[in-house]
Amino acid sequence: MFKNSIWFNLHETESTNSFLHEQLMSEKLPEGSVVTADYQTKGRGQRGSSWQSEAGKNLLMSIVIYPDFLKASEAFVLSKCIALATYDLLADYSNQVQIKWPNDILIEGKKVAGILIENILRGADIYATIAGIGINFNQQMFEGGLNSATSVFINSGVKADTQINAVKLHENIEVYYQMLQQKKIEEIDRLYLTHLYKLNETALFNDANGPFQGKIKGLSPMGLLIVERENGEKHLYDVKEISLVR
């Protein structure tokens, strides 16, 4: 499936996602093509944030796929596949890995990896998806301290080879992408929920009306978060509308 994929291993680039965007403007790369970098000068995170990563310490990787069988409204299932592939990679290092909706990966409740999915649309269809994954492997210090961020090394004491992990992650993504092509959506949904952080646990959230206690009950088919309040009412939230405080 990804057998013709091309690999670009860069020392430095602005952002591996941006690099693939630029490549795709001039040619249609084979599906599964990948770029990795030791360092990004303008690493990008979700919702316009930046992604900081010390040079040569972590995995910074982007992959292009062409999910022409998916409608744009079904795009979230792809995000689940990338999260599950990343989960499986990290589960080799820790048994405390979880997925925080929509697609952060946590070890012992601290963020170890982030995923940035960018869909290039043609009308209502997805022409190409660029999935960027940043995994903290060997970094030991983080800007905001160690309360909310971690790395595989901090957690397990293991120094991992990022390039070997890039190859494994590529294989994992291929496995889940194949499941998606075979329409095994229920299986993907089930696995995602199995690993979901705070599912059915009382947690503190913040929405436009302020903080409140509730429980994550699952996801809508479009990937919206279903949160049940203490009075039993259920609400659906898009990613910009809610944050999980603790």
> Which residues sit opposite 114 in a β-bridge?
134
CB atoms within 10 A of CB 237: 18
> Using CA atoms, how far apart are residues 225 and 235, in angstroms rounded to an integer?
8
List, in order, residues 6 or more apart from 95 with CB less than 8 Å away. Answer: none
Interface segment toward ligand BTN; rule CB under 6 A; list 11-19, 140-148, 177-185, 235-243: 11-19
Out of 33, 38, 57, 62, the residue judged to bind ligand BTN by CB under 6 A? 62
* Residues 125-144 within binding reach of ligand BTN (CB under 6 A): 132-134
Out of 2, 23, 45, 110, the residue judged to bind ligand BTN by CB under 6 A? 45
H-helix or E-strand containing 114?
strand 110-122
Residue placing its CB nearer to ligand BTN in the complex, 132 or 223: 132
Helix (H, G, I), strand (E, B) or coil at 37: strand
Out of 60, 84, 173, 191, the residue judged to bind ligand BTN by CB under 6 A? 60
Number of residues in contact with ligand BTN, rule: CB under 6 A?
A: 20
Residue placing its CB nearer to ligand BTN in the complex, 78 or 115: 115
Residue 141's nearest CA partner among 149, 152, 131 is 149
- On the question of a cis peptide bond just before residue 102, with omega within 30 degrees of 0, the verdict is yes
For residues 96 to 115, the per-residue mask of contacts with ligand BTN, x marking binding by CB under 6 A and - elsewhere, is: --------x---------xx
Q: Using CB under 6 A as the criterion, which residues of the chain lie in contact with ligand BTN when the complex forms?
A: 15-17, 40, 43-46, 49, 51, 60-62, 104, 114-116, 132-134
